[in-house]
Chains A and B, each alone.
Chain A
Amino acid sequence: MKLSLTPKLSTFLKPSLASTPLRRSLCSSSPSPPPPPISLKPQTPLFLRPPIHSATSSDLQQWQDWAKTLASSVGSTFANSDNGPDSTLLLRELNWLVDDAVQQGIENGQRKIRLRVSLEELYLLWKQRIEERKPFQYIVGCEHWRELVLCVQEGVLIPRPETELIVDLVGDVVKGEEGLREGLWADLGTGSGAIAIGIARVLGTGGGRVIATDLSPTAISVAGFNVERYGLQDVVELRKGSWFDPLKDVEGKLAGFVSNPPYIPSDNISGLQAEVGRHEPRVALDGGVDGMDDLLHLCKGAASILKPGGFFAFETNGEKQCKYLVEYMENEARGSFCNLSIIPDFAGIHRFVTGFHK
């Protein structure tokens, strides 16, 4: 099932903007066609909204001063309570919020300030950031990930920097391997579409394709928005469903598949940093009692979904899960896999398990 995006999206995004970062070239002010069902309409991130609000520079300054004071008042209380952000980080985020929301320019020789949200909304947004601990990325509606700017919203996991490496892992295995580069790939549990889009871009124009799946309709719709923004709708196909269910027709045919499934042990969810635990979707985080439910399910299915020589990469919670998975694949699936390896992230934590189907 190919996701059909709302006419609004497809018309204003296609096709001339293919595969360039589209930060400034888009706006969403086109007259709206009949609204699609609520859950399927992705929110427009701040930086893509038209700058239709105005403010005097003193009003803006006043907001900024207020926001800085609020951020500074946090000190290290969040950091101490749940390893959350401290003032320094919050102040940096504030600058990014200004980057996304404020457009300064000269009109008729006068300094003009235009805003993509009203000043009142800016007050509200920053209050939500500090008082509700709403993740910054949900406030601005985007995350900068690799060379991409991906739209995100509540209901979709914010892609993490650790995960950026999965795209490099795939880039390395497809280098000089046409059979893999021109083959069919899958990103299971795609969320914002981050990994799928990253992979589509490393596969290049050789004919390789990516199927991106998710159980969550919100994720599917946001991923669709991002795929279109990068002009990849012919390369990345979105399918809604649970893990391998939507992939029945490609069994044994995948050149590779990757996943960053939920892997946090259920017990740990309540103690998570507020930004994560209170705001990000539980279905994206909770991996069952020991965090391994989904990872094991994926391992079990790997041999039948991959073609011979096919590659897989999973992100995990760390060393314990990595070891367990490798042992599992060596013992239970004896003979099906080769070159199993554990790969650390940039902080040195054993983060990824990779291997090939024999």
Chain B
Amino acid sequence: MRMAMAGSLWKSSCSCSYTCSLVRVIGVSRTSSGAAAAILHASSLFPPPSMALKIQRKSSLTKWRWSQQQPQLPEDRNSNAFFFIRSSKYGTNSISTDGGKGYLESTDQELMSQCEMGTFKTSGPGGQHRNKRESAVRLKHLPTGIIAQASEDRSQHMNRASALSRLRTLIALKVRNAVDLDGYSPPRELLQILPKSSSIRTSDIGNQIGPNNPKFVYGMQALLDLLYAVDGSVSEAAKFLGLSTGALSRLILSDDSLRLAVNELRASEDMKPLR
């Protein structure tokens, strides 16, 4: 069942502070509670993500990004998630650069409307007919195929909110935007997560936003975009951010999911992991 929400309907009234620790790209990664998982996997029509990512990692000249197109869902809708990668040359300025940022900037209800929601078994007329405690929620973000689940709460509403917040983290971690390094200037959301020691951070940026703040994901996405553009080199990225290499490393290490994502990238570039 495709969700077609009319107008502005869904909004999370709770703010979920949870850090997603998904970072392994393949298979299931667990959150601290162990109850929720984000699964990313490829359809048989496509190379499994491990392969796709290897391609991505091989060449430092070619950048890849997630397709923004809606994947054609195969017949078998039970076969978990699909996640589609499309290649594109970086550096020709021909790529639109708003992919993942667009998703992240969506309101909760917009994001929700891009998702298919399954409570793991939905059948029949629902409503007053049913009492099944189907509180577990599985959101599939149709444009990217990213899946976020939550089942640790007894309320479906709370699980929807957690799944949505997880989805945002996953989008930030997985969806890359091309960055033009010539004349690069960090977007505001990235400046906001930088420590005050950054020489390009002006006082109007305000206090540093930490990993527990829901806004952290926006900066995290922009930071990963930059790190991908410099092939995982923390010292290169640090220069663009007016930080010492050590200060940027500390920032990366302050959030588990960010650290793991950066180390994945570095491993693919044959660099040592940050610790």
Contact = CB atoms under 8 A, between A and B. Distances in A.
Given A83-B124, A348-B1, A348-B4, A273 B157 contact: no
B146 to A, nearest CB: 18
B123 A144 contact: no
Given A93-B133, A136-B133, A169-B9, A347 B117 contact: yes
Residue among A146, A285, A347, A349 with max Cβ neighbours from chain B (10 Å): A347
A144 B153 contact: yes
A345 B119 CA distance: 12
A147 interface: yes
Nearest to A277: B129
Contacts of B3: 344, 346, 348
Given A89-B133, A347-B122, A262 B6 contact: no
Interface in A97-153: 135-137, 144-148
Interface residues of A, number: 54
B128 A164 contact: no
Nearest to A92: B133
B158 A144 contact: yes
B131 A276 contact: yes
A344 B4 contact: yes
Interface stretch (A36-44, A154-162, A207-215, A249-257): A154-162
Given A144-B158, A168-B11, A347-B1, A263 B128 contact: yes
A344 B10 CA distance: 11
B127 A162 contact: yes
B155 A268 contact: no
A84 B133 CA distance: 10
A346 B132 contact: no
A92 B8 CA distance: 33
Contacts of A346: 3, 117, 119, 160
Interface string A326-346: 000000000000000111111
Given A83-B124, A146-B155, A147-B13, A344 B129 contact: no
B130 A202 contact: no
B14 interface: yes
B5 interface: yes
B126 interface: yes
A315 B127 contact: yes
B134 interface: yes
A211 to B, nearest CB: 22
A341 B4 CA distance: 13
A76 to B, nearest CB: 11
Interface in A302-358: 315-318, 341-349, 351
B129 A147 contact: no
Contacts, number: 125
Interface string B98-134: 0000000000000000000101001111111111111
A144 B13 contact: no
B2 interface: yes
A160 B128 contact: yes
B128 A147 contact: no
A289 interface: no
Contact of B155 (A144, A318, A341): A144
A272 interface: yes
B135 A273 contact: no
Interface in B1-57: 1-11, 13-14
Contact of A172 (B9, B14, B122, B133): B9
A276 B129 contact: yes
Contact of B14 (A89, A147, A169, A171): A147
B156 interface: yes
Contacts of B132: 83-85, 89, 273
A66 interface: no
B154 interface: yes
Given A172-B11, A273-B129, A347-B119, A161 B134 contact: yes
B100 to A, nearest CB: 24
A263 B126 CA distance: 12
Contacts of B134: 89, 161
B217 to A, nearest CB: 22
B6 A341 contact: yes
A265 to B, nearest CB: 10
Contacts of A258: none
Contacts of B5: 343-344
A272 B132 CA distance: 12
27 contacts: A83-B124, A84-B132, A85-B133, A93-B133, A136-B133, A137-B133, A144-B155, A146-B13, A157-B128, A160-B131, A162-B126, A164-B157, A168-B10, A168-B11, A202-B13, A264-B128, A268-B129, A272-B129, A273-B129, A276-B131, A317-B127, A343-B5, A346-B119, A347-B126, A348-B3, A348-B4, A349-B127
Interface of B: 1-11, 13-14, 117, 119, 122-135, 153-158, 160
